[in-house]
Amino acid sequence: MLQNRAVFEAKTALQAKDDQRIWFLFRGEELLVRDQEGQRATPWVGPLPASFETRDELALGVLDGKPAFACIVSDDAIAPEGTRFSPLRPLHALLDASAFDAASLGAQLVYFARHYRFCARCAHPLEAVADSRVRRCTSCAHEWYPRVSPCAIVLIHHDDRLLMTRQARYPAGMYGLVAGFVEPNESVEACAAREALEECGARVRDVRYFGSQPWPFPHQLMVGFIAEYDGGELIVDRGELEDARWFSRDALPTLPPPVSIARKMIDAWSRGDFER
Ligand SMILES: [Zn+2]
């Protein structure tokens, strides 16, 4: 498990042995991994490849007893033999859980370093602050924190049916759950109810917390709820969705991948976890 509170420990360890470090090396949004027998993948361990130009070395914490870091490599970096650059999402099935967790943190911090380069108050450059996630303005000293965007995702059920939605960008045949970004001054529960109404015309009741999940694409926090349908004609918001419809338990469409909280909620519902 990644102990990501151990930033200081990891910083100290950076002074230590080169061959003990674990590196999450991002070229754009792709991560360098070494394939292990085609079924598993691991991050880079040891001294950085000599050909790589790197910047923004960020301490992630301690992973499996070793200090773990993320950094940005130049866009023209070529993966050393036996390794490759991969988008993060498919790596969920290949990295072990703690490594994926560290990669997910690394992806969000690297995104922050790449996209928050100048102060939004005074337009001067930002710089990293030692032993912190903060980036500080070199002129006005304002401190900017990595952005996290909360989203509500809600499983809406009624009798033996599930209300599911489909966005145009989904793989063919896949349906997910109602979801959307929390607005300023809105509770996550209120967001879940609002999105149900806006996306599908559905009123909901008994909105109950299920769990939450960081979602590093690029920096969401998905907060999951279970809700009962409480009326309302199904009206699909075609601006946001390609389709929305009810599916019965024994005829579900293609589901979101196991990495997602949507899938965890659907699986729990399929098992009957939310029946009264
Ligand atoms: Zn400033």
Query: Is the model's pLDDT at 5 over the cut of 60?
Result: no
Distance 128 CA to ligand 1 centre (A): 13
- Residue 36: predicted pLDDT: 86
Per domain, the residue ranges of the chain are 2-115, 149-270
Query: Is the model's pLDDT at 4 over the cut of 80?
Result: no
- Residue 55: predicted pLDDT: 85
pTM: 0.88
Query: Is the model's pLDDT at 8 over the cut of 60?
Result: no
Distance 29 CA to ligand 1 centre (A): 27
Are 132 and 109 contacting, i.e. CB atoms less than 8 angstroms apart?
Answer: no
- Kindly report, residue by residue over 175-221, the tens digit of the pLDDT: 999 999 999 999 999 999 999 999 999 999 999 999 999 999 999 99
Query: Is the model's pLDDT at 2 over the cut of 90?
Result: no
Distance 146 CA to ligand 1 centre (A): 16
In sign, the C-alpha dihedral spanning 155, 158, 162, 163 is negative
CATH fold, domain 2-115, is Nucleoside Triphosphate Pyrophosphohydrolase (3.90.79)
Are 12 and 19 contacting, i.e. CB atoms less than 8 angstroms apart?
Answer: no
Q: Is there a cis peptide before residue 218, judged by omega within 30 degrees of 0?
A: yes
Distance 116 CA to ligand 1 centre (A): 12
Cα dihedral 217/222/70/91 (nearest 10): -60
149-270 matches 2-115 in CATH topology: yes
CATH fold, domain 149-270, is Nucleoside Triphosphate Pyrophosphohydrolase (3.90.79)
Distance 135 CA to ligand 1 centre (A): 11
Distance 129 CA to ligand 1 centre (A): 14
Distance 75 CA to ligand 1 centre (A): 28
- Kindly report, residue by residue over 65-99, the tens digit of the pLDDT: 888 999 999 999 999 999 999 999 999 889 999 99
Distance 14 CA to ligand 1 centre (A): 30
Instruction: pLDDT band for 275, please (50, 70, 90 cuts).
Output: confident
Other CB atoms within 10 Å distance of the CB of residue 236: 16
The type of residue at 60 is L
* Between residues 260 and 5, the one the model is more confident about: 260
Distance 58 CA to ligand 1 centre (A): 22
Distance 110 CA to ligand 1 centre (A): 21
Distance 141 CA to ligand 1 centre (A): 6
Distance 137 CA to ligand 1 centre (A): 5
Backbone angles phi, psi at 105, to 5 degrees: -65, -45
Query: Is the model's pLDDT at 7 over the cut of 60?
Result: no
